[in-house]
Amino acid sequence: MQRAQYALHARVEDRHWWFTGRRRIARALVERLAPPGAGQAVLDIGCGTGANLAALADGWRCRGIDASEEAVRLARQRFPALEFACEADPLAREDWIAEADVVLLMDVLEHVADDFLLLSRVLSALRAGAHALITVPADPRLWSRHDESFGHFRRYQIERLRATWSGLAVSERMLCGFNSRLLPLIRAVRCVNRRLGRTAGHAGTDFHLPPAALNRLLEGLLAGEARTLLGALEGREGYRAGASLIAVLRREVGPIVPRTRPAELAPDLHGTVRAG
C-alpha cells in the first residue's frame, strides 16, 4: 500500500460499510474467543490506521503493529490512547504476541510475498490456548486493479489458505467465506470495471463512500453474517463462498518451526489482471 491508500483508509474506514461491517463481525468473534472485561489482550498485526483496534478498546487491552510508518503515524494521531508500533518484522514485538489472547491478521497475508513464513512465525510466538483471527480476499477470479493498488500478491481459495497452517501445532476452529451476501454484486462490479479498465473508487481502489442510506444497508447485510459465522465457530456450516475468507485458529501445545512458501506452489497473481 502507498501513502494515498493509507490516507484513503483514514478518511473512510470509520464510516464505509466494508470496514464497519467487518469490524462488527470481528468484534462478535473476539467476544466469543476472549470475553471482555477480564484483562484479555488483542494484538492487531497489520493494524493499518487503527480503527479495528479502536473498536475493541472498550473491552480489551489493545496493541497494534504495522510495517508502514505512515499507517502508524495516522493511527497514533487518530487514537492517541492506544499503543502502536512500527515494525517491519512483527516478531520484533514477540512479547506482544506472547501476551495476546487473540491476534488479528485482517487482510494482511495477501500483502506478503511469503505468507507461509509470516504466519508460521507469528503462530510460533503465540501461547497455547490463544487464537488467531485471519481474513483475506477470496476468489482469484475477482482479481482487479483494486488488488494491484493495495499491493496484493494473491486472492485466496480455501485450500490455498489452509495450506499456510497445515501441519502446524494449531487447530482450525473455523474456515469459510464471508462477505457472501454481496458476492454477486461484487462480481458484477469487478467484471464491468475490468472491461472498462478502471476502479470504482478513489486512489486506484474500489473504495468510495456511498450515500448514507445505501451505506447503512450494505453494512447491515455484511454485519448480519456474524450470526452464521458464530455458528461456524461452534461447528455448524458456514458460508461456502464469499468475496473474502475468514479463519480462526487455536494455538495448541507444541513447537512450531517457521517455514517458507513451497517452491512448487502455483505463481501468485501479483502484477496480472485476470479476465473473467
Mean per-residue pLDDT, 82-94: 96
Percentage of residues in the chain having pLDDT higher than 70? 91
Is residue 30's pLDDT more than 90? yes
pTM: 0.91
Question: Does residue 276 surpass a pLDDT of 60?
Answer: no
Give one DSSP letter per residue of 175-237, joined into a string.
Answer: EEEES-TTHHHHHHHHHHHHHHT--SSSTTSS-----HHHHHHHHHHHHTTHHHHHHHHTTS-
Average pLDDT over residues 24-48: 95
HSE-CB at 185 with a 13 A cutoff on CA atoms is 9
Which of 8-41 are b and which e, b meaning 16 or more Cβ less than 10 Å from the residue's Cβ?
A: bbbbbbeebbbbbbbbbbbbbbbeebbeeeeebb
Please state the φ and ψ torsions of residue 189, each to the nearest 5 degrees.
-65, -45
**Residues 135-185: tens digit of each pLDDT:** 999 999 998 887 887 789 999 999 999 999 999 999 999 999 999 999 999
pLDDT at position 150 is 77
The C-alpha cell that represents 79 in the structure block: 487514537
Confidence of residue 199 (pLDDT cuts 50, 70, 90): low
| Confidence bin at 66 (pLDDT 50/70/90) | very high
Q: What whole-number distance in Å separates Cα of residue 202 and Cα of residue 132?
A: 31
Among 19-23, 144-148, 203-207, the range with the most confident prediction by mean pLDDT is 19-23
Give CA torsion, residues 122, 128, 130, 134, to 10 deg.
40
Residue 127 has pLDDT above 80, yes or no: yes
pLDDT of amino acid 200: 57
Distance CA 10, CA 222 (A): 21
Closest listed residue to residue 24, CA positions, set 225, 159, 275, 188: 225
Interior CA angle at 249 toward 58 and 263, to 5°?
130
For 235-272, the pLDDT digits (tens) are 999 999 999 999 999 999 999 999 999 998 988 877 54
pLDDT at 93: 97
Q: Which domains does the chain have, with CATH numbers?
A: 3-251 (3.40.50.150)
Contacts of 120 (CB under 8 A, 6+ apart): 164, 165, 168, 256, 257, 258, 259
- For residues 33-38, give the mean pLDDT: 91
What pLDDT does residue 95 have?
97
Whole-Å CA distances, 144 to 45, 150, 153, 194, 273: 25, 10, 12, 7, 6
